[in-house]
């Protein structure tokens, strides 16, 4: 804060006159442009911004500068301050990275039906826990959980906040004070320090590591069983891959072994695909249905990865186990809220109708083929060249990443618009500063725009944004 300036301490008569002539906050507030600001930003923030503009003008005068001290100039200054202060931190972006499930851009984008379900659930009283026939309370598990049973064939299901919460609940409720056997090849760290050994400790379950990093056979699990064992657990490697001499005991064998000893078999599936990714030319991702067919007793996965729904964790499996989870005190802290339930129910409805491929955005995005992407980029290039004559750009083959933030993620063939500029990093920055920020990436010193993750309704904004960012840059 600049020190308060006292007129009595100012010697220079000219400066004294200038300071005395400076307008006041009250006078500024009576001007129409200030009243407009008040309507947009509220009275207190507007007063604060005007006061700050006046303080700075006063300090500039004292410093011997000649600031514009007209009312309009001061209000414009206040407007700049208010704009900066009110820039939302959470805003839509245009994802031109080609990363389908982008961990920093909110993972899966929801379907139109899921969006509508969220809006309706948010703005109405809804039958979350109310039976219209009986006119009384009903279970909130009738919605998404009922659909999950229908789609996957599971006996029971439960929705919590995310997959980490699913693991926390399952292990706390079913393995506290007991042993859980996990292959040394599956002690996965997801991100942010969330890993299986820490989760086990948090749940007061004893982790028993068996096998070797690259190889764990069913006999290794068998030798790990003691009187303290509660379960055998598989953790799916969603973010790394063992190549070369690698082997993991199949889930069926683990389940059979577990059941033969009166134990449970758990499966942390991670991504939780309900459809076969091999149909898109990707590596086959184990599906929820396969986990159930292998007779895992409890399987959990994320709702906002390959399922294409809202952030949540989904547990499916035997009724006996799901019932224990429902009765556990943690469930009250971990259960999903009504907006999540609404969005997930609408997302699952696409699977029930057999329209997931065409209606769920991430599946539609992953299904896009190169010729279709090529046509899109050609269209962009044509329009851009007409608008920016000295544009240095071409079309280049590239690969879109399915799971962002994951080094060994699966990729899909794509083509991208490649723009060459002197300073690609500063172009990326200008793209990020647009009203609808564009997130792109650099490959071989070119700025790449992958059409796979750009929605049709965003194309105009993309072209306008690229033009604006290029014009402001040194090409
Ligand atoms: C992604 C993932 C998690 C964490 O899921 P969140 O939904 O982010 O909590 C846990 N385990 C595995 C195997 C995962 O892939």
State whether 325 and 392 are in the same domain: no
State whether 77 and 131 are in the same domain: no
State whether 319 and 370 are in the same domain: no
pLDDT surpasses 80 at 408:
no
State whether 323 and 448 are in the same domain: no
Q: Is residue 107 part of a domain?
A: no
Average pLDDT, integer, range 70-90: 95
Domain CATH number, residue 455: 3.90.1150.180
For residue 194, the model assigns a pLDDT of: 86
For residue 406, the model assigns a pLDDT of: 60
Any atom of ligand 1 within 6 Å of the Cβ of 162: yes
Contacts of 448 (CB under 8 A, 6+ apart): 96, 98, 396, 398, 416, 417, 418, 419, 440, 441, 442
pTM: 0.90
User: Could you tell me the pLDDT band of residue 403, with boundaries at 50, 70 and 90?
Assistant: confident
Q: How far is the CA of 463 from the centre of ligand 1 (A)?
A: 35
* Six-digit token string for 380: 């962009």
Calpha distance 179→201 (Å, rounded) = 11
Q: Residue 417's domain spans which residues?
A: 94-102+365-471
Planar angle of CA 181, 161, 320, nearest 5 degrees: 55
User: Could you tell me the pLDDT band of residue 329, with boundaries at 50, 70 and 90?
Assistant: very high
**Burial track 247-264 (b if 16+ CB lie within 10 A, e otherwise):** ebbebebbbebbeeeebb
For residue 386, the model assigns a pLDDT of: 96
Ligand 1 atom nearest 311 alpha carbon:
7
Q: Is residue 224 part of a domain?
A: yes
Average pLDDT, integer, range 223-227: 97
State whether 340 and 378 are in the same domain: no
User: Could you tell me the pLDDT band of residue 3, with boundaries at 50, 70 and 90?
Assistant: low
Query: 188 versus 131: which is more confidently predicted?
Result: 131
Instruction: List pLDDT tens digits, range 333-359.
Output: 999 999 999 999 999 999 999 999 999
Any atom of ligand 1 within 6 Å of the Cβ of 285: no
CA-closest candidate to residue 303, choices 330, 257, 258, 341: 341
Average pLDDT, integer, range 100-106: 94
Q: How far is the CA of 270 from the centre of ligand 1 (A)?
A: 5
pLDDT surpasses 60 at 239:
yes
Ligand 1 atom nearest 304 alpha carbon:
7
What's the chain's Rg over C-alpha atoms? 29
Cα dihedral 95/99/100/101 (nearest 10) = -100
The alpha carbon of residue 366 and the mean position of all alpha carbons in its chain are separated, in whole angstroms, by 17
Q: Is residue 346 part of a domain?
A: yes
Question: Domain ends where: 359, 391, 417?
Answer: 359
State whether 325 and 386 are in the same domain: no
How many of the other CB atoms lie within 10 Å of CB of 356?
Answer: 22
pLDDT surpasses 60 at 96:
yes
The beta-strand segments (E) located in 363-469 are 393-401, 411-419, 438-439, 441-443, 446-449
How many of the other CB atoms lie within 10 Å of CB of 404?
Answer: 18
Calpha distance 6→12 (Å, rounded) = 12
Q: Is residue 190 part of a domain?
A: yes
Any atom of ligand 1 within 6 Å of the Cβ of 268: yes
pLDDT surpasses 60 at 1:
no
Share of the chain above pLDDT 90, in %: 87
Residue with tokens 């240095």: 392
Calpha distance 248→261 (Å, rounded) = 20
Average pLDDT, integer, range 183-202: 90
State whether 188 and 246 are in the same domain: yes
Instruction: List pLDDT tens digits, range 152-189.
Output: 999 999 999 999 999 999 999 999 999 999 999 999 88
Q: Is residue 73 part of a domain?
A: yes
CA-closest candidate to residue 143, choices 168, 112, 120: 120
CA-closest candidate to residue 438, choices 467, 410, 414, 395: 467
Any atom of ligand 1 within 6 Å of the Cβ of 236: yes
State whether 75 and 135 are in the same domain: no
Question: Domain ends where: 343, 359, 375?
Answer: 359
Q: What are the backbone dihedrals phi and psi of residue 232, each rounded to the nearest 5 degrees, phi first?
A: -100, 135
State whether 336 and 407 are in the same domain: no
Residue with tokens 């991208």: 416
Q: Is residue 461 part of a domain?
A: yes
State whether 80 and 203 are in the same domain: no
Share of the chain above pLDDT 70, in %: 97
Domain count, the chain: 3
* Six-digit token string for 453: 């993750």
State whether 252 and 130 are in the same domain: yes
Domain CATH number, residue 214: 3.40.640.10
Any atom of ligand 1 within 6 Å of the Cβ of 340: no
Question: Domain ends where: 359, 378, 398?
Answer: 359
Q: Is residue 249 part of a domain?
A: yes
Give me the half-sphere count of Cα atoms (radius 13 Å) on the Cβ side of residue 394. 4
Contacts of 12 (CB under 8 A, 6+ apart): none
Instruction: List pLDDT tens digits, range 39-62.
Output: 999 999 999 999 999 999 999 999
State whether 33 and 68 are in the same domain: yes
3-state secondary structure of 187: coil
CA-closest candidate to residue 156, choices 142, 174, 138, 169: 142
For residue 188, the model assigns a pLDDT of: 86
CA-closest candidate to residue 175, choices 28, 340, 9, 321: 321
3-state secondary structure of 458: helix
Average model confidence (pLDDT) across the chain: 94
Any atom of ligand 1 within 6 Å of the Cβ of 163: yes
- DSSP annotation of 390 reads T
* Six-digit token string for 147: 């659909």
Q: Is residue 410 part of a domain?
A: yes
For residue 189, the model assigns a pLDDT of: 86
Instruction: List pLDDT tens digits, range 284-293.
Output: 999 999 999 9
Average pLDDT, integer, range 143-158: 96
Residue with tokens 């006061």: 51
């Amino acid at each position: 804060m600049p020190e308060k300036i006292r007129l009595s301490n100012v010697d220079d008569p000219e400066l004294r006159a200038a300071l005395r002539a400076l307008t006041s906050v009250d006078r500024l507030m009576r001007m129409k442009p200030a009243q407009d600001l008040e309507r947009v930003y509220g009275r207190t923030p507007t007063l604060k911004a005007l006061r700050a503009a006046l303080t700075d003008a006063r300090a500039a005068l004292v410093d011997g500068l000649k600031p514009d001290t007209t009312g309009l100039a001061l209000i414009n200054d206040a407007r700049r301050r208010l704009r900066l202060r009110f820039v939302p931190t959470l805003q839509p972006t245009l994802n031109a990275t080609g990363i389908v499930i982008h961990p920093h851009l909110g993972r899966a984008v929801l379907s139109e039906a899921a969006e509508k379900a969220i809006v309706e659930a948010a703005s109405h009283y809804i039958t979350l826990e109310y039976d219209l026939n009986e006119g009384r309370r009903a279970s909130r598990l009738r919605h998404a959980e009922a659909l999950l049973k229908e789609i996957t064939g599971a006996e029971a299901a439960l929705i919590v906040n995310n997959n980490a919460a699913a693991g926390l609940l399952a292990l706390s409720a079913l393995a506290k004070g007991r042993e859980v056997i996990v292959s040394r090849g599956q002690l996965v760290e997801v991100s942010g320090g969330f890993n299986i050994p820490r989760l086990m400790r948090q749940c007061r379950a004893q982790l028993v590591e068996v096998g070797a990093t690259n190889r764990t056979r069913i006999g290794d699990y068998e030798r790990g069983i003691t009187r303290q064992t509660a379960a055998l657990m598989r953790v799916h490697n969603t973010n790394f891959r063992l190549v070369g001499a690698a082997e993991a005991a199949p889930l069926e064998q683990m389940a059979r072994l577990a059941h033969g000893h009166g134990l449970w078999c758990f499966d942390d599936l991670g991504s939780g695909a309900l459809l076969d990714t091999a149909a898109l030319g990707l590596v086959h991702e184990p599906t929820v249905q396969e986990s159930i067919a292998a007779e895992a007793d409890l399987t959990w996965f994320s709702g906002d990865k390959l399922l294409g729904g809202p952030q949540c964790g989904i547990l499916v499996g035997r009724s006996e186990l799901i019932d224990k989870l429902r009765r556990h005190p943690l469930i009250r802290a971990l259960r999903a809220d009504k907006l999540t339930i609404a969005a997930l129910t609408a997302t699952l409805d696409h699977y029930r109708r057999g329209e997931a491929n065409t209606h769920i955005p991430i599946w539609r995005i992953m299904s896009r083929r190169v010729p279709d992407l090529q046509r899109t980029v050609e269209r962009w290039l044509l329009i851009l060249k007409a608008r920016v004559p000295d544009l240095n750009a071409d079309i280049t083959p590239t690969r879109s990443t399915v799971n962002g933030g994951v080094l060994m993620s699966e990729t899909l063939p794509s083509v991208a618009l490649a723009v060459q500029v002197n300073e690609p990093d500063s172009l990326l920055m200008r793209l990020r500063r647009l009203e609808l920020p564009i997130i792109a990436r650099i490959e071989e010193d070119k700025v790449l725009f992958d059409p796979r993750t750009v929605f049709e309704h965003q194309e105009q904004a993309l072209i306008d944004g690229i033009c604006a960012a290029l014009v402001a840059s040194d090409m």
